[in-house]
Chains A and B, each alone.
Chain A
Amino acid sequence: MTELKKTKILFTVFFLLVFISLAFCFYRFIIRKNYITFTNENDIPSDTDFIKSFGDSIKNGHIDL
């Protein structure tokens, strides 16, 4: 396979992923309004909290998306 062909495939996959990702965001946030709304300051995770929870999730083999 030529370099040009490989590049074309790479760019196609790349922009397809970008498009899907943007479409997913639009679907999730605008159409479904599927997100947490924090009404209590104590519920908001601090930077260290989410890094810790992210680390724990990886350790447990489960990432909460």
Chain B
Amino acid sequence: MDTLICNFDIARYLIFSNNVFGVLIYYSHLLPFFTSLFIGYLIIKNDTKSLLNRILVFILLNFSIWIFLDLILWANEKSQIIMFSWSIMVLFEVLIYASSFYFLYVFIQKKDLSFKYKMLIGILISPVILLLGTKLNIIGYDATNCNREVIEGFISTIYVYFVEISLVISILYLAIRSIVKEKTNFKIQIAIISTGLILFLVAFSWGNIAGSITDNWNFGQWGLIGAPVFVAFLAYMIVRFHTFNVKLLGAQALVLGLWLLVFGILFIRNIGDVRIITIFTLALVSIAGYLLVKSVKKEVEQKEQLAKLNIDLQNVIQQRESLMHLINHKVKGSFTHTKYIFAGMLDGMFGTITPEIKKIALLGMSADEEGIRTIDLILNTANLQKGTVKYEMKSIDLKELITKTVEEKKTQAEKKGIKIETEITGDVCMINGDSFWLKEVVNNLIDNSIRYTKEGEIRVGLKKENSKLLFYVKDTGIGITPEDKNNLFTEGGRGKESVKTNVDSTGYGLFTVKLIVEAHSGKVWVESEGEGKGSTFFVQFDAI
């Protein structure tokens, strides 16, 4: 009867008719409907076992059903279909809210909701389920005007809002409490996911909120478009946080959203000549979208491969370090053992020895000491690199430390016929540092110069430049080529010519110097005019 009086259009496939108010209703419904189903499909396709995935898909399914039912209300003319759709919509509405709470709980707690809480939620929404088809939910059909409306009862007008508000408060409480309690970076993830979830619910309920305030129900429909955007955002964020195993969701959702936006324009009536342009744009979006998804997929795969290789590499490095430590300790133990045997021979512990044997014992002991020094250097480098060295920082006089070290090195240099000169200016040169390790720096640089200088002299200097102290070791040695400069301060880095001059070079000395200097907030560099023209090593510290 109502059809005849109001002259309604007969809907095809439940939802296609001219009864809808405003041309954009299909756009605001079909777009989120298909987007939600597609996002849900992507999520479940990648991991069906994850509880979080299942809950999110459940939310999306309920949302899609709700949207479809809403579209029926806009388009259909039959009162019985309107009564049926209207009556069951509230059920899907509360299920969306309840599963949103469930989703956030599982995300934060990383475990399933306890039976007690599930029961509580079940009890809370059971009146909606049990009274769905009764007058307490919808009273009857309003045929007094041509608005095709239903007179709602207690459940639809009061109880559903009570349930929804309770669940939103619970979501907010859960999120805020977890953010306050959480000490790690996980709190940022909770904040982002909770915001996304609240925005989804606000967008979903926007129709009711905006409609109640403005009385403009067309305006309210726009929230529906926002809802899947926030679900896509949730899914994307969870991908980033590696909770889901969904790949490329962001790019795929973006492309699909764009495609549906253009596709949706075709549903607008009176589109006229623009239809051809829209079809052309749709084709372009399809091609560009396909290429975009393909390239993102490739990038994601490469990133995953890189991440895997990185983990493998870290493991190999760790294994190598452990092996190095073990070998070094064993070798050092052997060197120390033979060193004491040679020392015992020289002390006469094994009886009187001939001058020839004494000479051999001295050579053996010297070789052992060199071996122990090399191993100490490698072990120290490994410890400095790992950061296991604890520096005892205190104010020390760098001038005194350098002078003492130079004195100790003079004999070694004189044996090679090299003269060591000091060029130290200024009375007090105080810095904040660890004297043991700073001595290693000075020792290493002077040692280096002695080794790579065949004749000539070494100048060790220290000068104050404003608030900085510049320490340098200048020699007339083999010099450094520009190519070698880049390798010099790296792990195991050596100059090409250095191997010829010093066959025992480990390549760890200057690397250790760099690590120690940088730990003292200093700078180290080398200057050389080239091969055979000597070199100058500079170290700069902050003066105190």
Interface residues of A (CB under 8 A from B): 3, 6-7, 10, 14, 17-18, 21-22, 24-26, 28-30, 33, 35-41, 44-45, 47, 50-51, 54, 63-65
Contact = CB atoms under 8 A, between A and B. Distances in A.
B145 to A, nearest CB: 8
Contact of A29 (B84, B143, B158): B84
B153 A50 contact: yes
Interface residues of B, number: 36
B139 interface: yes
B387 interface: no
Interface in B71-114: 79-81, 83-84, 87-88, 91, 112, 114
Contacts of B126: 17
Interface in B46-92: 79-81, 83-84, 87-88, 91
Interface stretch (B129-137, B302-310, B410-418): B129-137
Contact of A21 (B129, B140, B153): B129
B133 A40 contact: no
A18 B135 CA distance: 17
B185 interface: no
A50 B84 CA distance: 21
Nearest to A18: B129
22 contacts: A3-B114, A6-B115, A10-B115, A10-B122, A14-B129, A18-B91, A18-B129, A21-B130, A21-B132, A21-B133, A25-B84, A25-B133, A29-B81, A36-B139, A37-B2, A38-B144, A45-B139, A45-B151, A50-B139, A54-B136, A54-B154, A63-B136
A2 to B, nearest CB: 10
Contact of B80 (A10, A14, A30): A30
Contacts of B129: 14, 17-18, 21
Interface in B499-540: none
A10 B119 contact: yes
Given A21-B132, A29-B80, A30-B80, A36 B118 contact: no
A16 to B, nearest CB: 10
B503 to A, nearest CB: 70
Contacts, number: 89
B141 A35 contact: yes
B3 interface: no
Given A38-B140, A40-B144, 9 more contacts: A7-B115, A22-B88, A22-B132, A29-B84, A33-B79, A37-B2, A39-B144, A44-B144, A45-B151
A13 B205 CA distance: 28
B140 A36 contact: yes
Chain B CB count within 10 A is highest, among A3, A10, A17, A50, for A50
Contacts of A50: 139, 153-154
B493 to A, nearest CB: 60
What 6 A-B pairs are tightest by C-beta distance, nearest first?
A36-B140, A29-B84, A25-B133, A65-B134, A29-B83, A24-B133
B84 A30 contact: yes
B166 interface: no
Contact of B83 (A3, A7, A35, A65): A35
A40 B122 CA distance: 39
Contacts of A38: 140-144, 151
Contacts of A41: 144
Contacts of B112: 7
Contacts of B115: 3, 6-7, 10
B141 A36 contact: yes
B154 A51 contact: yes
A54 B133 CA distance: 16
Contacts of A21: 91, 129-130, 132-133
A26 B85 CA distance: 9
B243 interface: no
Contacts of A10: 115, 118-119, 122
A33 B139 CA distance: 13
Nearest to A9: B115
A40 to B, nearest CB: 7
Interface string B481-511: 0000000000000000000000000000000
Contacts of B88: 22, 25
B82 to A, nearest CB: 9
A17 B87 CA distance: 15
A24 B132 contact: yes
A7 B2 CA distance: 47
B315 interface: no
Contacts of B131: 65
A63 to B, nearest CB: 7
Contact of A37 (B81, B134, B135, B143): B143
B157 interface: yes
Contacts of A37: 2, 79, 140-141, 143
A62 B83 CA distance: 24
A50 B133 CA distance: 17
A26 B154 contact: no
Contacts of A18: 91, 129
A30 B81 contact: yes
B130 A44 contact: no
A36 B135 CA distance: 9
Nearest to A23: B133
Interface in B349-405: none
Nearest to B125: A14
